[in-house]
Structure 1
Amino acid sequence: MSNQISTIYDDVQNLISLHGTRDPQIILQERNVMLIPFKEKTKLLGMYKVILRNEFVFYNPYVDERILNMVFAHELGHNVYHGNLARKKEIFEYELFNITNSTELEANLFAAHLLIDEEELMEHILLGEDYETLSKIFNVNINLMIFKLNEMYRMGYPINRLDLPNNNQFFTKIDGTDKGNEEIF
Protein backbone atom coordinates (compact mmCIF):
# COMPACT_ATOMS: atom_id res chain seq x y z
CA MET A 1 0.00 0.00 0.00
CA SER A 2 1.39 3.34 -0.95
CA ASN A 3 1.86 6.05 1.66
CA GLN A 4 -0.52 8.26 -0.32
CA ILE A 5 -3.36 5.74 0.04
CA SER A 6 -2.95 5.71 3.81
CA THR A 7 -3.42 9.50 4.01
CA ILE A 8 -6.43 9.85 1.68
CA TYR A 9 -9.00 9.65 4.48
CA ASP A 10 -7.30 12.42 6.48
CA ASP A 11 -6.87 14.56 3.37
CA VAL A 12 -10.58 14.23 2.56
CA GLN A 13 -11.57 15.14 6.13
CA ASN A 14 -9.38 18.25 5.95
CA LEU A 15 -10.92 19.23 2.62
CA ILE A 16 -14.46 18.77 3.97
CA SER A 17 -13.58 20.90 6.98
CA LEU A 18 -11.96 23.59 4.83
CA HIS A 19 -14.86 23.86 2.37
CA GLY A 20 -17.72 23.03 4.75
CA THR A 21 -19.23 20.51 2.34
CA ARG A 22 -18.89 17.06 0.83
CA ASP A 23 -20.20 18.31 -2.53
CA PRO A 24 -17.39 17.71 -5.04
CA GLN A 25 -18.75 20.21 -7.56
CA ILE A 26 -18.68 23.03 -5.00
CA ILE A 27 -15.20 22.05 -3.83
CA LEU A 28 -13.88 21.94 -7.40
CA GLN A 29 -15.30 25.40 -8.06
CA GLU A 30 -13.84 26.78 -4.83
CA ARG A 31 -10.47 25.34 -5.88
CA ASN A 32 -10.80 27.34 -9.13
CA VAL A 33 -11.13 24.27 -11.31
CA MET A 34 -13.13 25.10 -14.41
CA LEU A 35 -16.00 22.68 -15.05
CA ILE A 36 -16.74 22.26 -18.73
CA PRO A 37 -19.48 19.96 -20.04
CA PHE A 38 -18.94 17.98 -23.24
CA LYS A 39 -21.16 19.37 -25.99
CA GLU A 40 -22.09 16.01 -27.49
CA LYS A 41 -22.97 12.61 -26.10
CA THR A 42 -19.95 10.44 -25.47
CA LYS A 43 -18.93 7.34 -23.57
CA LEU A 44 -16.34 9.44 -21.77
CA LEU A 45 -17.47 10.24 -18.23
CA GLY A 46 -14.90 12.81 -17.24
CA MET A 47 -11.41 14.12 -17.76
CA TYR A 48 -9.02 16.16 -15.61
CA LYS A 49 -6.42 18.28 -17.38
CA VAL A 50 -4.06 21.12 -16.49
CA ILE A 51 -3.33 23.53 -19.35
CA LEU A 52 -1.00 26.49 -18.82
CA ARG A 53 -1.55 26.29 -15.04
CA ASN A 54 -5.33 26.33 -15.51
CA GLU A 55 -7.17 23.31 -14.16
CA PHE A 56 -10.15 21.78 -15.96
CA VAL A 57 -12.65 19.02 -15.40
CA PHE A 58 -14.43 18.15 -18.61
CA TYR A 59 -17.53 16.09 -17.85
CA ASN A 60 -20.42 14.30 -19.46
CA PRO A 61 -23.64 16.18 -18.64
CA TYR A 62 -25.74 13.38 -20.15
CA VAL A 63 -25.38 11.00 -17.19
CA ASP A 64 -27.68 11.00 -14.20
CA GLU A 65 -26.93 13.11 -11.13
CA ARG A 66 -25.69 10.16 -9.06
CA ILE A 67 -23.02 9.20 -11.57
CA LEU A 68 -22.11 12.82 -12.27
CA ASN A 69 -21.54 13.38 -8.55
CA MET A 70 -19.21 10.35 -8.47
CA VAL A 71 -17.39 11.65 -11.58
CA PHE A 72 -16.84 15.05 -9.92
CA ALA A 73 -15.60 13.37 -6.73
CA HIS A 74 -13.25 11.12 -8.71
CA GLU A 75 -11.89 14.03 -10.76
CA LEU A 76 -11.45 16.06 -7.55
CA GLY A 77 -9.27 13.19 -6.34
CA HIS A 78 -7.15 13.64 -9.45
CA ASN A 79 -7.05 17.38 -8.80
CA VAL A 80 -5.79 16.86 -5.26
CA TYR A 81 -3.25 14.12 -5.99
CA HIS A 82 -2.37 14.07 -9.67
CA GLY A 83 -1.88 17.65 -10.85
CA ASN A 84 1.67 16.94 -12.03
CA LEU A 85 0.49 13.99 -14.09
CA ALA A 86 -2.37 16.04 -15.55
CA ARG A 87 0.12 18.66 -16.75
CA LYS A 88 1.76 16.00 -18.92
CA LYS A 89 -1.31 14.15 -20.18
CA GLU A 90 -5.07 13.95 -19.77
CA ILE A 91 -6.53 11.79 -17.05
CA PHE A 92 -9.79 10.50 -18.46
CA GLU A 93 -12.36 7.89 -17.50
CA TYR A 94 -14.60 5.72 -19.59
CA GLU A 95 -15.31 3.61 -16.52
CA LEU A 96 -15.09 4.85 -12.96
CA PHE A 97 -14.14 1.56 -11.39
CA ASN A 98 -11.64 0.19 -13.88
CA ILE A 99 -8.64 0.09 -11.57
CA THR A 100 -5.57 -0.25 -13.76
CA ASN A 101 -3.07 1.67 -11.65
CA SER A 102 -2.55 3.45 -8.34
CA THR A 103 -3.68 6.77 -9.85
CA GLU A 104 -7.18 5.43 -10.47
CA LEU A 105 -7.27 3.59 -7.15
CA GLU A 106 -6.40 6.78 -5.28
CA ALA A 107 -9.09 8.78 -7.12
CA ASN A 108 -11.72 6.13 -6.33
CA LEU A 109 -10.74 5.90 -2.67
CA PHE A 110 -10.85 9.69 -2.48
CA ALA A 111 -14.36 9.70 -4.00
CA ALA A 112 -15.55 7.00 -1.59
CA HIS A 113 -14.31 8.90 1.46
CA LEU A 114 -15.72 12.19 0.19
CA LEU A 115 -19.21 11.00 -0.73
CA ILE A 116 -19.87 8.52 2.08
CA ASP A 117 -19.74 9.54 5.74
CA GLU A 118 -18.49 6.54 7.73
CA GLU A 119 -20.40 7.35 10.93
CA GLU A 120 -23.71 7.56 9.09
CA LEU A 121 -22.79 4.42 7.16
CA MET A 122 -22.07 2.53 10.40
CA GLU A 123 -25.58 3.37 11.65
CA HIS A 124 -27.05 1.63 8.59
CA ILE A 125 -24.63 -1.30 8.81
CA LEU A 126 -25.73 -1.89 12.40
CA LEU A 127 -29.32 -2.05 11.13
CA GLY A 128 -28.22 -4.95 8.88
CA GLU A 129 -28.43 -3.22 5.51
CA ASP A 130 -26.78 -4.98 2.55
CA TYR A 131 -24.47 -3.51 -0.13
CA GLU A 132 -27.27 -2.74 -2.55
CA THR A 133 -29.44 -1.01 0.04
CA LEU A 134 -26.47 0.99 1.37
CA SER A 135 -25.65 2.09 -2.18
CA LYS A 136 -29.19 3.33 -2.70
CA ILE A 137 -29.29 5.13 0.66
CA PHE A 138 -26.04 6.99 -0.10
CA ASN A 139 -26.91 7.48 -3.78
CA VAL A 140 -23.68 5.90 -5.06
CA ASN A 141 -22.76 2.99 -7.27
CA ILE A 142 -22.24 -0.27 -5.39
CA ASN A 143 -18.56 -0.33 -6.38
CA LEU A 144 -17.95 2.93 -4.56
CA MET A 145 -19.73 1.49 -1.52
CA ILE A 146 -17.44 -1.55 -1.63
CA PHE A 147 -14.39 0.74 -1.79
CA LYS A 148 -15.64 2.61 1.29
CA LEU A 149 -16.45 -0.54 3.25
CA ASN A 150 -13.06 -2.05 2.45
CA GLU A 151 -11.36 1.14 3.62
CA MET A 152 -13.42 1.22 6.80
CA TYR A 153 -12.46 -2.40 7.50
CA ARG A 154 -8.80 -1.51 6.92
CA MET A 155 -9.20 1.45 9.31
CA GLY A 156 -10.46 -0.87 12.05
CA TYR A 157 -14.24 -0.41 11.88
CA PRO A 158 -16.13 -3.52 13.06
CA ILE A 159 -17.49 -4.53 9.67
CA ASN A 160 -18.49 -8.08 8.80
CA ARG A 161 -19.00 -9.39 5.29
CA LEU A 162 -22.32 -8.09 3.98
CA ASP A 163 -24.56 -9.98 1.57
CA LEU A 164 -23.69 -9.28 -2.04
CA PRO A 165 -26.56 -8.45 -4.39
CA ASN A 166 -28.03 -11.38 -6.32
CA ASN A 167 -26.97 -10.06 -9.71
CA ASN A 168 -23.37 -9.34 -10.55
CA GLN A 169 -24.08 -6.40 -12.83
CA PHE A 170 -22.22 -4.06 -10.52
CA PHE A 171 -19.04 -4.64 -12.54
CA THR A 172 -20.81 -3.58 -15.72
CA LYS A 173 -19.46 -0.55 -17.56
CA ILE A 174 -20.96 2.78 -16.63
CA ASP A 175 -20.83 5.22 -19.47
CA GLY A 176 -22.51 8.35 -20.72
CA THR A 177 -24.48 6.61 -23.45
CA ASP A 178 -26.20 4.12 -21.13
CA LYS A 179 -29.76 5.41 -20.80
CA GLY A 180 -30.35 3.25 -17.73
CA ASN A 181 -27.17 4.20 -15.91
CA GLU A 182 -29.10 5.41 -12.89
CA GLU A 183 -30.26 1.86 -12.27
CA ILE A 184 -26.81 0.25 -12.28
CA PHE A 185 -25.99 -0.90 -8.79
Structure 2
Amino acid sequence: MDSREDRTRTTYLLVDGENIDATLGTSILGRRPRPEERPRWDRLLQFARDRWGQEPVGLFFLAANNELPMSFVQALLSMGYRPVPLAGAPSEKVVDIAIQRTLAALADRDDDVLLVSGDGDFLEGVEGLLDGSRRVGVVGFTEFRNHEFNGLVPRGLECIDLEYDVEAFTARLPRVRIIPIDEFDPLEFL
Protein backbone atom coordinates (compact mmCIF):
# COMPACT_ATOMS: atom_id res chain seq x y z
CA MET A 1 0.00 0.00 0.00
CA ASP A 2 1.31 3.42 -0.93
CA SER A 3 2.08 5.56 2.13
CA ARG A 4 0.09 8.39 0.53
CA GLU A 5 -3.12 6.40 0.99
CA ASP A 6 -2.95 6.26 4.77
CA ARG A 7 -2.89 9.99 5.47
CA THR A 8 -4.71 13.06 4.31
CA ARG A 9 -2.78 15.02 1.73
CA THR A 10 -3.36 18.27 -0.07
CA THR A 11 -2.38 19.31 -3.55
CA TYR A 12 -1.20 22.90 -3.70
CA LEU A 13 -1.92 24.31 -7.14
CA LEU A 14 0.31 27.37 -7.64
CA VAL A 15 -0.81 29.40 -10.65
CA ASP A 16 1.50 31.90 -12.34
CA GLY A 17 -1.28 33.46 -14.41
CA GLU A 18 1.05 36.08 -15.89
CA ASN A 19 3.36 33.43 -17.32
CA ILE A 20 0.50 31.45 -18.87
CA ASP A 21 -1.18 34.60 -20.21
CA ALA A 22 2.08 35.94 -21.69
CA THR A 23 2.91 32.60 -23.34
CA LEU A 24 -0.60 32.30 -24.71
CA GLY A 25 -0.66 35.86 -26.05
CA THR A 26 2.89 36.35 -27.26
CA SER A 27 4.02 32.89 -28.31
CA ILE A 28 0.84 31.09 -29.34
CA LEU A 29 -1.72 33.65 -30.52
CA GLY A 30 0.58 36.56 -31.37
CA ARG A 31 -1.88 38.99 -29.77
CA ARG A 32 -3.74 39.62 -26.54
CA PRO A 33 -6.04 36.63 -25.83
CA ARG A 34 -9.76 37.26 -25.99
CA PRO A 35 -11.76 36.11 -22.96
CA GLU A 36 -13.00 32.98 -24.74
CA GLU A 37 -9.38 32.03 -25.57
CA ARG A 38 -8.17 32.04 -21.97
CA PRO A 39 -7.86 28.88 -19.88
CA ARG A 40 -10.89 27.66 -17.98
CA TRP A 41 -9.29 27.80 -14.56
CA ASP A 42 -12.06 25.70 -12.99
CA ARG A 43 -11.01 22.82 -15.28
CA LEU A 44 -7.52 23.04 -13.83
CA LEU A 45 -8.83 22.63 -10.28
CA GLN A 46 -10.91 19.64 -11.40
CA PHE A 47 -7.92 18.15 -13.19
CA ALA A 48 -5.82 18.44 -10.01
CA ARG A 49 -8.63 16.83 -8.01
CA ASP A 50 -8.96 13.95 -10.48
CA ARG A 51 -5.24 13.47 -11.15
CA TRP A 52 -4.17 12.83 -7.58
CA GLY A 53 -7.51 12.07 -5.92
CA GLN A 54 -7.38 14.78 -3.30
CA GLU A 55 -8.77 18.24 -2.76
CA PRO A 56 -6.53 20.95 -4.25
CA VAL A 57 -5.84 24.35 -2.74
CA GLY A 58 -5.63 26.71 -5.71
CA LEU A 59 -3.42 29.75 -5.13
CA PHE A 60 -3.63 32.20 -8.02
CA PHE A 61 -0.79 34.73 -7.88
CA LEU A 62 -1.51 38.18 -9.35
CA ALA A 63 0.57 41.30 -9.81
CA ALA A 64 -1.98 43.81 -8.58
CA ASN A 65 0.23 46.92 -8.78
CA ASN A 66 -2.03 48.67 -6.27
CA GLU A 67 -5.11 48.02 -8.42
CA LEU A 68 -7.15 44.93 -7.66
CA PRO A 69 -8.93 43.49 -10.73
CA MET A 70 -12.12 42.83 -8.75
CA SER A 71 -14.14 41.08 -11.47
CA PHE A 72 -11.32 38.59 -12.04
CA VAL A 73 -10.75 38.16 -8.30
CA GLN A 74 -14.47 37.47 -7.78
CA ALA A 75 -14.41 34.92 -10.61
CA LEU A 76 -11.41 33.17 -9.03
CA LEU A 77 -13.12 33.11 -5.64
CA SER A 78 -16.30 31.66 -7.13
CA MET A 79 -14.26 28.82 -8.69
CA GLY A 80 -12.57 28.01 -5.40
CA TYR A 81 -9.20 29.69 -5.84
CA ARG A 82 -7.48 31.83 -3.24
CA PRO A 83 -6.27 34.93 -5.09
CA VAL A 84 -2.87 36.19 -3.95
CA PRO A 85 -2.69 39.83 -5.13
CA LEU A 86 0.82 41.25 -4.83
CA ALA A 87 2.49 44.62 -5.19
CA GLY A 88 6.08 45.78 -5.08
CA ALA A 89 8.61 48.03 -6.69
CA PRO A 90 8.42 48.31 -10.48
CA SER A 91 11.66 46.34 -10.80
CA GLU A 92 10.39 43.44 -8.68
CA LYS A 93 8.82 40.36 -10.26
CA VAL A 94 6.38 40.02 -7.36
CA VAL A 95 4.60 36.92 -8.66
CA ASP A 96 7.90 35.08 -9.16
CA ILE A 97 9.15 36.13 -5.71
CA ALA A 98 5.92 34.96 -4.05
CA ILE A 99 5.87 31.62 -5.87
CA GLN A 100 9.54 31.00 -5.05
CA ARG A 101 8.83 31.70 -1.37
CA THR A 102 5.79 29.41 -1.47
CA LEU A 103 7.80 26.58 -3.04
CA ALA A 104 10.42 27.00 -0.30
CA ALA A 105 7.73 26.92 2.42
CA LEU A 106 6.19 23.78 0.90
CA ALA A 107 9.55 22.00 1.14
CA ASP A 108 8.92 21.75 4.90
CA ARG A 109 5.54 20.07 4.37
CA ASP A 110 4.62 16.75 2.82
CA ASP A 111 1.92 18.05 0.50
CA ASP A 112 1.84 17.53 -3.26
CA VAL A 113 2.46 20.46 -5.62
CA LEU A 114 1.34 21.40 -9.13
CA LEU A 115 3.06 24.53 -10.46
CA VAL A 116 1.27 26.17 -13.36
CA SER A 117 4.10 27.93 -15.16
CA GLY A 118 6.85 27.18 -17.62
CA ASP A 119 9.22 29.70 -16.06
CA GLY A 120 12.77 28.51 -15.38
CA ASP A 121 12.95 30.85 -12.37
CA PHE A 122 11.16 28.08 -10.45
CA LEU A 123 13.56 25.22 -11.29
CA GLU A 124 15.43 25.35 -8.00
CA GLY A 125 12.24 25.46 -5.93
CA VAL A 126 10.66 22.58 -7.84
CA GLU A 127 13.84 20.52 -7.63
CA GLY A 128 13.87 21.05 -3.85
CA LEU A 129 10.46 19.38 -3.64
CA LEU A 130 11.55 16.22 -5.46
CA ASP A 131 12.44 14.24 -2.37
CA GLY A 132 10.44 11.12 -3.19
CA SER A 133 7.83 11.79 -0.51
CA ARG A 134 5.40 13.84 -2.58
CA ARG A 135 4.05 14.22 -6.10
CA VAL A 136 5.23 17.27 -8.00
CA GLY A 137 4.11 18.46 -11.41
CA VAL A 138 4.61 21.39 -13.76
CA VAL A 139 1.63 22.43 -15.89
CA GLY A 140 1.93 24.65 -18.94
CA PHE A 141 2.53 24.58 -22.67
CA THR A 142 5.02 21.78 -23.38
CA GLU A 143 6.88 23.56 -26.18
CA PHE A 144 7.31 26.74 -24.10
CA ARG A 145 8.20 25.14 -20.76
CA ASN A 146 11.80 25.70 -19.73
CA HIS A 147 13.59 22.60 -21.05
CA GLU A 148 15.57 22.15 -17.83
CA PHE A 149 12.37 20.83 -16.23
CA ASN A 150 12.73 17.76 -18.48
CA GLY A 151 15.91 16.87 -16.58
CA LEU A 152 13.82 16.54 -13.41
CA VAL A 153 11.43 13.96 -14.89
CA PRO A 154 13.67 10.99 -13.89
CA ARG A 155 13.49 12.29 -10.31
CA GLY A 156 9.68 12.16 -10.36
CA LEU A 157 8.54 15.46 -11.88
CA GLU A 158 5.33 15.16 -13.91
CA CYS A 159 5.15 17.46 -16.93
CA ILE A 160 1.54 18.22 -17.87
CA ASP A 161 0.23 20.14 -20.87
CA LEU A 162 -2.44 22.73 -20.07
CA GLU A 163 -4.29 22.22 -23.34
CA TYR A 164 -3.83 18.53 -24.18
CA ASP A 165 -3.74 16.93 -20.71
CA VAL A 166 -5.84 19.35 -18.63
CA GLU A 167 -8.17 20.29 -21.51
CA ALA A 168 -8.39 23.79 -20.06
CA PHE A 169 -9.48 25.43 -23.32
CA THR A 170 -12.84 25.33 -25.08
CA ALA A 171 -11.27 25.41 -28.56
CA ARG A 172 -8.03 24.06 -30.00
CA LEU A 173 -5.17 26.56 -29.90
CA PRO A 174 -3.06 27.23 -33.02
CA ARG A 175 -0.01 25.37 -31.67
CA VAL A 176 2.64 23.48 -33.56
CA ARG A 177 3.77 20.48 -31.55
CA ILE A 178 5.53 17.18 -31.99
CA ILE A 179 2.80 14.54 -32.31
CA PRO A 180 3.43 11.05 -30.95
CA ILE A 181 2.56 8.68 -33.79
CA ASP A 182 -0.03 6.91 -31.58
CA GLU A 183 -1.92 10.23 -31.34
CA PHE A 184 -1.63 11.22 -35.01
CA ASP A 185 -4.99 11.74 -36.69
CA PRO A 186 -4.67 12.64 -40.37
CA LEU A 187 -8.17 14.12 -40.31
CA GLU A 188 -6.81 17.00 -38.25
CA PHE A 189 -4.74 17.99 -41.28
CA LEU A 190 -7.17 17.27 -44.08
Q: TM-score range by the shorter chain?
A: under 0.3
Using structure 2 for the length normalisation, give the TM-score: 0.27
Name whichever structure is richer in helix by fraction. Answer: 1
Q: Which has the larger radius of gyration?
A: 2
